[in-house]
Structure 1
Amino acid sequence: MLKAAKLTALRAARCVGGYAALRGSRWRRERLLILCYHGISLADEHCWNPELYIPGNLFEQRLAAIREQGYNVLPLDDALDRLYAGELPPQSLCLTFDDGFHDFAAVAYPLLQKYAIPATVYLTSFYSMYRRPVFDLMCSYLLWKARNRTLEMARLRIAERSVALAQRGVRQDISADIRRFADENGYSADDRDELLCRLASELGVDYQALVARRILQIMSAIELADLDPRLVQVELHTHRHRVPLDKALFQREIRQNRDYIRHATRKEVVSAHFCYPSGVTSPVFLPWLREVGVRSGTTCRPGLASRADEPLMLPRFLDMCGVSSDEFDGWLSGLASKMPRRRLTHPSPTASGILV
């Protein structure tokens, strides 16, 4: 009901020139829209998780709308400097991608080149080194691929029961059970990948074909080095997609992440921008981040950034399959940010994480 009313209001505002008036206003000029994406589908990933993935044609429609409506897309570093100096150009925005999936290099990057639009990739680095699918996400994806089947848990040596996979909630529970089993048994990355292979075999899914297509894999060092630094900034997202509440462990995640990015991109520029994995934030993180030279941090809190915002707690707008063109344009103009929203029940669609 709330979403329907919001869309009706946005369409009415467009018809009476509300979008154009607001995007040309002083209020909008003093604010930066930071768009958030995760993955661009290589195959059917957007059908599996439409909050995490969008299809390539929809992403291209977004880029075309940005260009056609005259928005100024800035590199993140430059945009934040201008935001806090009070020198943003009209209709400013940034594009960010969390995690650094291979599909960024395969699908998103060519489209960014086509439209000459810069972006920032927040890279989580472990799975860039370990060249296999992300365990948590692939576990969920395999169960979805086999949603018309029954899984014999005993054959995986996890539990003594058979489970029909037709219902989403059941699949979520089984995915959590499998991840918990791997955690409790201290599985290494190789052990987890072997478990994925056995799970796929039980489900009748060709795991090696998914591996060959690089489904749910992170960009390799070679792919990162091939990105044009004038178009793509590679920034911090922790090494293992986690934010420990222990200061030493937290800062180690940042340092490992930064060292890998510097090595992989072959650039001497020190990564200084950070995105909270799964949108998990805490006030204790802010001084820890400052101590290791982090200048900004982006969250999953929806909104446009202003000079009043703490630089380490910046809002973004998460674009996904369920966002209509009216709502997307409403966020570009800033009007949608002024409308009531349901409170998120989860910090991020990637709350399953990329832990190892």
Structure 2
Amino acid sequence: MVKTLLQWMSPAGAGARLSTLIFHRVLPAPDPLFPDEMDARRFAEVCGWLKSWFNVLPLDQAVIRLKAGTLPVRAACITFDDGYADNFEVAMPILQRHGLTATFFIATGFLNGGRMWNDTIIETVRNGTSPLLDFSSLNLGRHPVTTLADKRAAIAALIDQVKYQPLAQRISVTEQIARLAQVQLPQDLMMTSLQVKAMHQAGMQIGAHTVSHPILARLSEDQARQEISDSQIFLERLLGERVGLFAYPNGKPGEDYSLQAVEVVRSLGFDAAFSTQWGASRQGDDPLQIRRFTPWDRTRLRFGMRMLRNLREG
């Protein structure tokens, strides 16, 4: 039933709709702190569902065919953002077992031992030994962390307070949070340059995702251009070929990136760029604002229904 409905809502040709899925991490095993985070067993299930229901395409080919009106029936793509090491270690082998390809958008400044600011907060709260984290000296409040629910609430509150601060301030504040909590933070959350290169050599596609994952809407045009261009140049030198795909950090249109950022991406010659606006894209949509979403349902039927609802958004 699901496949028939998908075929009706996502036909081939000029009326086609492209479903683009976005993931971030695939953990080796479930995380008690974040039980809804994707893990290896669940991702293998998702890959099986996608393989049986969709024609999963390489992203660059899908973009070309979307513009030309030649997409196949039930067209879909798989993408990952940020560049976590588990993308290489866990997700890629699962994709390969299912004969699927994906595109990995890399925030280049965090490769080789770096860490994203939100992960500094997450790992600080996860690994803290005190029952109370006191960040009142940073105007970030005091947070009980005796239970997993407490820790989740603390993480959400801290991320919400820090997320839209200027980039330099955001980095400084999160580093101070870690120092105040006196925790040892992991240095291996993100891929190495060699892993990115090996992933590309294995047939996966690589796209740019800025250097430091800023909120582009909060940057000047020159700052946005440098973030986007520097990540593109780094990856092109690493891979020895042109990089024509880009994903906006966080990706909400108007909130996380503006039309100014879209024009910067256009001027840098990217073939396509991707938001986190829900829905499926169709011929005639702006190729520099292609929609993506994350289906989170745990059963085959609910997952399929979610994909059908997402097609209605396009």
Task: Tell me the TM-score range normalised by the shorter chain.
Answer: 0.7 to 0.9
Q: Distance in 1 between matches of 2:236 and 2:226?
A: 15
TM-score in terms of structure 2 length = 0.82
SS in structure 1 opposite 2:78?
strand
In the TM superposition, what whole-angstrom CA distance separates every residue of 1:125-147 from its partner, at most 9, and x where no partner exists? 10115x13323322123314559
Cα 1:289–1:175 change in 2 (3 A) is: closer
| Whole-Å separation in 2 of the counterparts to 1:48 and 1:159 | 26
| CA–CA distance in structure 2, aligned partners of residues 195 and 238 of structure 1 | 24
Separation (CA, whole Å) in 1 of partners of 2:277 and 2:74: 20
Alpha-carbon offset, residue 159 of structure 1? 6.8
Other structure's SS at 1:40 match = coil
- Cα pair distance change 1:101/1:186, threshold 3 Å: closer
Distance 1:247 1:160 in 2: 30
The alpha-carbon distance between structure 1 residues 46 and 236, as it changes in their structure 2 partners (threshold 3 A), is farther
Q: Does 1:97 align with 2:72?
A: no
Output the CA distance in 2 between the equivalents of 1:195 and 1:116: 43
Identify which of 12, 17, 27 aligns with 1:41. Answer: 27
* Kept in 2: contact 1:37–1:319 (CA 8 A): no
**Pair 1:315–1:327, CA change in 2 (3 A):** farther
After superposition, give the CA deviation of every residue in 1:281-340 in whole Å (9 maximum; x if it has no partner): 3222222211110121111111111003111111112133x55432322344x3553279
SS of 1:278's equivalent in the other structure is coil
> What is the TM-score normalised by the length of structure 1?
0.73
| DSSP-derived class of the 1:238 partner | coil
Deviation at 1:163, TM superposition (A): 3.8
Tell me what 2:50 maps to: 66
Residue 245 of structure 2 corresponds to which residue in structure 1?
273
Q: CA deviation at 1:237?
A: 0.8
Cross-structure match for 2:195: 223
| Equivalent-residue separation in structure 2 for 1:283 and 1:83 (angstroms) | 22
Paired with 2:284 and 2:301, the residues of 1 have a C-alpha distance of: 28
| In structure 2, distance between residues paired with 1:72 and 1:93 | 6
**Structure 2, unaligned runs of 5 or more:** none
Per-residue Cα deviation, 1:75-114 (whole angstroms, up to 9, x for no partner): 1000111111111122211000011111101100111111
CA distance in 1, matches of 2:32, 2:72: 34
1:96-245 correspondence to structure 2 within 5 Å? 96-129=79-112, 131-146=113-128, 149-153=131-135, 158=138, 163-165=143-145, 166=147, 167=150, 168-174=152-158, 184=169, 187=172, 192=175, 196=178, 199-201=181-183, 207=184, 210-211=186-187, 214=188, 217-229=189-201, 231-242=203-214, 243=216, 244-245=218-219
Q: d(CA) in 1 for partners of 2:313 and 2:229?
A: 39
How far residue 65 of structure 1 moved from its aligned partner, in angstroms, is 1.4
**Is the CA contact 2:135–2:180 (under 8 Å) kept in the aligned structure 1?**
no
Structure 1: gaps spanning 5 or more residues: 1-16, 202-206, 341-356
Structure with max Cα Rg: 1
Mapped contact 1:48–1:141 kept (Cα < 8 A): no
Residues 43 and 264 of structure 1, relative CA distance in 2, 3 Å threshold? farther
Name the counterpart of 1:326.
Answer: 301
Alignment correspondent of 1:317:
293
Structure 1 window deviating more from structure 2 (169-178 vs 137-146): it is 169-178
Q: Tell me by how many angstroms 1:61 deviates.
A: 0.1
Structure 2 vs 1, CA of residues 79 and 229 (structure 1 numbering), >3 Å: closer, same or farther?
farther
Deviations 1:143-202 (A, max 9, x none): 145598222448xx64798642253444433456688799559849xx93x86365253x
Higher relative CO (CA 8 A, sep ≥ 6), structure 1 or 2?
A: 1
Percent identical pairs in the alignment equals 20
Aligned residues: 300
Name the residue aligned to 2:39: 55
Whether the aligned pair in 2 keeps the contact of 1:40 and 1:54 (CA below 8 Å) is yes
The one of 244, 247, 250 equivalent to 2:221 is: 247
In 1, Cα distance between the equivalents of 2:48 and 2:171? 47
Cα 1:81–1:102 change in 2 (3 A) is: same
Corresponding letter in the other structure for 2:86: D
Q: Cα gap change, 1:330/1:184 in structure 2, threshold over 3 Å: closer, same or farther?
A: closer
Corresponding residue number in structure 2 for 1:32: 18
